[in-house]
Amino acid sequence: MLKAVIFDMDGVLIDSEPFHLVVNEKIFANLKINLSEDEYQSFIGTTHKDMWSTIKEKYRLPQSVPELVGMQISGNINYIKNEEIEAIKGVNNLLSEIACENIKIGIASSSPTEVIELVTNKLGISNYFSAIVGGEDLERGKPAPDIFLEAAKLLNVEPEHCVVIEDSENGVKAAKAAGMKCVGFRNPNTGNQDLKKADLIIDKYSSLKISILIDLFEEKRQSKTMESNNGT
């Protein structure tokens, strides 16, 4: 039975990957390092700490991991505060629909809690979420299941009664490792992410209704992929 929906944030609630890339490219340029597109995309869905730990080791950067993480967080916060941002089309309607069914809603994102709260407040959707878990809250980030298990614990819901909405391969792996259902959201700005382990794959929120999420637990849904030719 569906009792909770847990959202990733970046690429799921807000199309943040484009501005993350802008911020990170400035940092990479300042550090005089050059990441390939494939290398950069491999970090999508992971925590800032995991990303910068790997980059620091590979490029032998003199800065500490906390210093590097701080550069990224500061850049993201400045962008969010100073630029117009909006939720991905259809997010508000889906959140409202879930809330009307008295199903709990949480966020489990690799972004820091400070950034999550800044985004949800600016988008005017913070009231929907009963639990928020940020990437700095746990030792292991996605694809480990810890962040989703913590969100379920805060929501007071068993993992088998949760569905996760994710746009990254790392996030889908984490959700399934947590024993949860997972909807893969195909966001073109997230890059070529392998979502095949998800229970259902969508490419727009108008394809996703609360009845479909409930059906995932009743094993009625036959097709994993819902195409985008049935409305906008």
> What are 123-164's pLDDT values in tens digits?
999 999 999 999 887 889 899 999 999 999 999 999 999 999
Residue 87: the pLDDT is 95
pLDDT in tens, 59-108: 999 999 999 999 999 998 998 999 889 999 999 999 999 999 999 999 99
Give the residue among 151, 188, 148, 154 at the shortest CA–CA distance from 170: 148
* Mean pLDDT, the chain, integer: 91
Reply yes or no on whether the pLDDT at 224 is more than 60: no
In a domain, 231, yes or no: no
Residue 219: the pLDDT is 62
- CATH code where residue 70 lies: 1.10.150
Q: 134 — phi, psi (to 5°)?
A: -100, 165
Indicate if 105 and 199 belong to the same structural domain. yes
pLDDT in tens, 173-185: 999 999 999 999 9
pLDDT in tens, 16-40: 888 888 899 999 999 999 998 889 8
Indicate if 69 and 112 belong to the same structural domain. no
Residue 136: the pLDDT is 83
Reply yes or no on whether the pLDDT at 231 is more than 70: no
Compute the average pLDDT of residues 119-126.
96
Residue 222: the pLDDT is 44
Residue 228: the pLDDT is 44
Q: Residue 218's pLDDT band (boundaries 50, 70, 90)?
A: confident
Indicate if 219 and 143 belong to the same structural domain. yes
- CATH code where residue 218 lies: 3.40.50.1000
Give the neighbor-by-neighbor strand order of the sheet with 162-166.
131-133, 104-108, 4-7, 162-166, 181-185, 200-202, 225-226
Amino acid found at 177: A
Note the pTM of the prediction, 2 decimals.
0.83
Residue 232: the pLDDT is 40
Indicate if 222 and 159 belong to the same structural domain. yes
Collect all residues with Cβ–Cβ distance below 8 Å to 146 and sequence separation of at least 6: 138, 139, 140, 174
Residue 226: the pLDDT is 53
Three-state DSSP class for 83? coil
Reply yes or no on whether the pLDDT at 229 is more than 60: no
Compute the average pLDDT of residues 191-210.
93
In a domain, 232, yes or no: no
Overall number of domains in the chain: 2
Domain that includes residue 95, residue range: 4-15+86-226
Indicate if 149 and 198 belong to the same structural domain. yes
